[in-house]
Amino acid sequence: MAPRLRALTRRTLTLLTLSTATAGAGYLYLNSGPAYPQTTHESRRPPPPWSPPPRSAMIDALKRSADPKRGEDDDSQFDILVVGGGATGAGVAVDAASRGLRVALVEREDFASGTSSKSTKLVHGGVRYLQKAVFELDYEQYKLVREALRERRVFLQTAPYLSHMLPIMLPIYKYWQVPYYWSGCKLYDLLAGKENMETSYLMSKGKALEQFPMLKSDGLVGAVVYYDGQHNDSRMNLALILTAIKAGATATNYCGVTSLRKDPTTGLITGARVKDYIAGGEFDVKAKVIINATGPYTDSLLSLSTPTHKPIVRASSGVHIALPSYYAPTGMGLLDPATSDGRVVFFLPWEGGVIAGTTDDPYDMRAHIKPQEKKDAYLSGDDILPRESEIQWVIDEVRGYLSGDIKVRRGDVLSAWSGLRPLISSGAAGGTEGLVRSHVVKVDEGGMVTIAGGKWTTYRAMAEEAVDEAIEVCPGLKAKAQKCQTQELKLVGSEGWDRNMFIGLIQRYGLHPEVARHLSSSYGSQAWTLLSSTTQTAALDPHRPLSTPHPFTHSEITYALTHEYAQKPLDVLLRRTRLGFVDARAALSALPEVVRVMGDTLGWDMRQRAEEARRAEEVLRGMGAGGRVEVGTPSSGEGWLRIGELQRRVCALFGCSALLRPFSGAATYPRALFEPGEIEVLREVFGQYARVSGGSGSGSDSEPGFGVQEQMRMPVSMIREAVRSVAGLGYAYDGVRESDFRYILREAGLSDLPEGEGRVRDVDFEEFVEVRTCFISHSVFALLIRAVSCSCSCSHKP
Ligand SMILES: Cc1cc2nc3c(=O)[nH]c(=O)nc-3n(C[C@H](O)[C@H](O)[C@H](O)COP(=O)(O)OP(=O)(O)OC[C@H]3O[C@@H](n4cnc5c(N)ncnc54)[C@H](O)[C@@H]3O)c2cc1C
């Protein structure tokens, strides 16, 4: 009996242990994932409105800090002056201000105009860095992944409206890679520990194609899906700036440090000379410690402090392109871990479109500085534009993993941008992809604290370290500063926000659901302030779209000016709204209205309006508005048009309403559009120039019936003449230059048709139609640009 009892007890114990473990694992599984803010009654009501102080008040506070009439002990002097208003600088300002320190931040251009608006928008540990950590036994990479995974959770919780969880698929084309990628993703989950979002999982080929129908199916064996975070980088940057201001900091854009002030006896830095690029003039700002958070420009500021210092940052350029939304499903990203040259490419849904990138190429900033007379010339963030070869590389990689029937074209690129990674140099020459993305904090002989490198994801931890160091450098701050608060500190817009808040906005303001969702996810609970600060008139709806079909609204222009320190059209089009990143063409079409509103509000005269418009147009064109900006883009004029006038002029140029449609109505992607009856006209023309396949017969001898045309082909050499004759029928294909024509053939995929022995290449009817669509998308843009430029000289002249 006794041994039987013992066995029973052993079995019972084993069972009990197993069921407890299963129940525990089940509980953990069911409770995994990010903690979304609870839906509360509060999020259905507008919170008390909050408006930051105007820019002029910030400038006054900066000037007061060095006012000689005030004594040394006066509390108008700052504890910390942060130089640089990107992710790192803004994070430092939040950290220091929330500890109770007196903080100032100056940014030479707009907040986030540098790298921080041009990232891949991922809040991630970095699976590729984990791969390096494991295979190269690199402890630095391992530490970076661990830290970033921990920070990922804090990031998503402190700014829940600006960031969210995103499943990312790794397609697998070889069976042996299944255990490799699966175990890699599991290790990623494991490293995140309790900070993990959702656990990764394996998918069959069928399921992968169901989720991602655009994926190349040939040879696909399955996929692994893992989770990371995604965010709206420039708005996140702005939320940090506003949070710092709310916590008492003084922060201003378009104010740059031109030199540093030192105590002649100790050699320690006591402040900086600052130039106001909006109002003009220079003034001193006094601070106990300066924190250099200038990203790729770190060495320039270090040179002001120690002219003989050795550079610590190596810039590496990363290019992204934006494509129309139909190239990827809305809720799933894709990672190609093995591109043609070993770099990775992300392909992610973002802000209603799809973004793809990135490259990793060394970048010599000095070589790109425009020759200017002024000695303090620098390369502006907006001037760092993608190279054509980099854009082509991303397109080629994207084509490689999409289904063969989908041909992503150069003309599909709605926008493209380049950002500079401030990588910490190892001192060795060569490529930058091997450099670790971790950061350094260092103090130079003048007492300036420099924080450089790192990632967007780790901005908070970097800021904490930099402020700790500043407190260390300046013992006077120790007594004053509290402990770091930022693990729990919610950013402006997060209080009272939850994922259903947009329903309240619809119910109160009658917004279109897409607009309400956009406002909620861009402004958080500040969306209430935005909506209540604009008044609806019978004639004009302030929430009408800035450029259809995108959800950005007119009211955002005014709000950006009154509540978010926008000073230039690109601040509105690129960084307050993200229109220029999602679709540079649409941003170009919205530019006249933005210039008008800004000009009226900020009191710009006609000359300034023209200059601001010219500058914005230059950058938007550089971002690829229209897909091929080097063709048919004459230099800009000196004036600017209102959009209606612009459209009228393009219309007059073309005499064809179909060609106008992409810029006036709901459609932004012109290549899918045909006028009623246009296909029939094309069929007729094709029939006139084509010949029966095989070389015998000629199109003109045959009746242009559908069945016959399927066997008929037209020599490529005849296309030009054929499209000219379409122009004669009322469709505008005329006046296309030879270089444009070659480009159009390439876009239509015809330049790579195999050329037989002495045979002339020929095209069938469908390919002829393809040429026509490429003509339209190319010509509309080229002619829009011409229309803009030719009309600039005569508009807005007093
Ligand atoms: C292509 C690319 C993709 C990336 N993707 C990701 C990603 O998905 N996830 C991630 O976590 N990280 C990513 N990163 C990294 C991340 O974007 C950067 O680490 C981060 O944005 C750097 O911020 P920063 O503030 O240091 O630099 P910046 O954003 O460049 O800010 C520096 C600022 O200093 C200002 N400045 C310079 N000199 C002066 C002066 N004298 N006076 C006043 N102001 C001055 C500049 O105008 C600039 O605005 C990516 C980086 C690149 C390039």
DSSP codes of every residue in 119-133: S--EE---HHHHHHH
In angstroms, the CA 125 to CA 634 distance is: 45
Banded model confidence at residue 721, pLDDT cuts 50, 70, 90: confident
Q: Which two tokens stand for residue 192?
A: 């995140």
In this predicted model, which residue has the larger pLDDT, 517 or 779? 517
Q: Which two tokens stand for residue 12?
A: 């019972």
Distance of CA 13 to CAs 7, 21, 22, 440, 515, Å? 10, 12, 14, 53, 58
- Whether residue 795 is predicted with pLDDT greater than 50 in this model: the reply is no
Q: Which of 626, 622, 541 is nearest to 586 (CA)?
A: 626
In this predicted model, which residue has the larger pLDDT, 57 or 44? 57
- Whether residue 733 is predicted with pLDDT greater than 60 in this model: the reply is no
> Among positive and negative, which fits the CA dihedral 475, 476, 480, 484?
negative
Measured from the Cα of 113, ligand 1's closest atom is: 49
| Whether 596 contacts 258, CB under 8 Å | no
Is the Cβ atom of 78 under 6 angstroms away from ligand 1?
no
Q: What is the pLDDT of residues 210-264, one digit of tens each?
A: 999 999 999 999 999 999 999 999 999 999 999 999 999 999 999 999 999 999 9
| Whether 694 contacts 740, CB under 8 Å | no
pLDDT at 152: 94
Distance of CA 324 to CAs 229, 352, 359, 583, 661, Å? 21, 8, 20, 9, 17
CA 54–ligand 1 middle distance (angstroms)? 25
| Whether 389 contacts 600, CB under 8 Å | no
**What average pLDDT does the structure give for the chain?**
82
Greatest CA span in the chain, whole angstroms?
110
Q: Hey, which residues does 228 pair with through a beta bridge?
A: 166
Q: Which residue has a Cα nearest atom 42 of ligand 1? A: 256
Banded model confidence at residue 633, pLDDT cuts 50, 70, 90: very low
Residue 278's CB: how many other CB atoms inside 10 A?
Answer: 15
- Whether residue 697 is predicted with pLDDT greater than 90 in this model: the reply is no
Q: Which of 170, 531, 465, 524 is nearest to 335 (CA)?
A: 170
In angstroms, the CA 162 to CA 301 distance is: 31
Is the Cβ atom of 551 under 6 angstroms away from ligand 1?
no
pLDDT at 373: 47
pLDDT at 513: 95
Banded model confidence at residue 719, pLDDT cuts 50, 70, 90: confident
What's the predicted TM-score (pTM) here?
Answer: 0.82
Q: Ligand 1 pocket: which of 58, 149, 274, 294 to mutate (most atoms <8 Å of CB)?
A: 294
DSSP codes of every residue in 372-404: -SSTT----GGG----HHHHHHHHHHHHHHB-T
H-state helical runs in 171-218: 177-192, 205-211
Q: Which of 567, 561, 577, 556 is nearest to 253 (CA)?
A: 567
Is the Cβ atom of 119 under 6 angstroms away from ligand 1?
yes
678-689 vs 765-792: helix axis angle to the nearest 10? 120
Q: Which two tokens stand for residue 426?
A: 């190892």
In this predicted model, which residue has the larger pLDDT, 40 or 606? 606
CA triple 210-213-214, angle to 5 deg:
160
Q: What is the pLDDT of residues 165-198, one digit of tens each?
A: 999 999 999 999 999 999 999 999 988 887 788 8
Measured from the Cα of 274, ligand 1's closest atom is: 42
pLDDT at 678: 72
| Whether 593 contacts 745, CB under 8 Å | no
Q: At 545, which amino acid appears? A: P
Cβ neighbours for 757, distance < 8 A, ≥ 6 positions apart: none
| Whether 292 contacts 83, CB under 8 Å | yes
DSSP codes of every residue in 579-615: HHHH-HHHHHHHHHHHHHHHHHHHT--HHHHHHHHHH
pLDDT at 656: 34
Distance of CA 520 to CAs 163, 172, 352, 497, 542, Å? 12, 36, 14, 8, 17
CATH level 2 (architecture), domain 149-230+314-368+379-424: 2-Layer Sandwich (3.30)
Distance of CA 355 to CAs 156, 394, 395, 582, Å? 21, 10, 11, 8
Q: Which two tokens stand for residue 628?
A: 């091929």
- 664, burial (CB in 10 Å: exposed 0-12, middle 13-18, buried 19+): middle
CA 419–ligand 1 middle distance (angstroms)? 8
The CATH number of the structural domain formed by 55-117+235-312+433-477 is 3.50.50.60
42-51, 121-130, 212-221, 265-274: which has the minimum mean pLDDT?
A: 42-51
Measured from the Cα of 457, ligand 1's closest atom is: 11
243-257, 260-274, 389-403: which has the minimum mean pLDDT?
A: 389-403
Is the Cβ atom of 359 under 6 angstroms away from ligand 1?
no
Is the Cβ atom of 317 under 6 angstroms away from ligand 1?
no
- Would you list the domain boundaries of the chain? 55-117+235-312+433-477, 149-230+314-368+379-424, 497-532, 539-669, 672-784
| Whether 106 contacts 257, CB under 8 Å | yes
Q: CA neighbours within 13 Å on the CB side: how many for 673?
A: 19
Is the Cβ atom of 454 under 6 angstroms away from ligand 1?
yes
pLDDT at 428: 54
Residue 734's CB: how many other CB atoms inside 10 A?
Answer: 12
In angstroms, the CA 104 to CA 77 distance is: 10
Pick 539-669's CATH classification: 1.10.8, 1.10.101, 1.10.1060, 3.30.300.
Answer: 1.10.8
- Whether residue 5 is predicted with pLDDT greater than 50 in this model: the reply is yes
Is the Cβ atom of 257 under 6 angstroms away from ligand 1?
yes
Average pLDDT on 760-783 reads: 67
Q: Ligand 1 pocket: which of 83, 115, 302, 376 to mutate (most atoms <8 Å of CB)?
A: 115
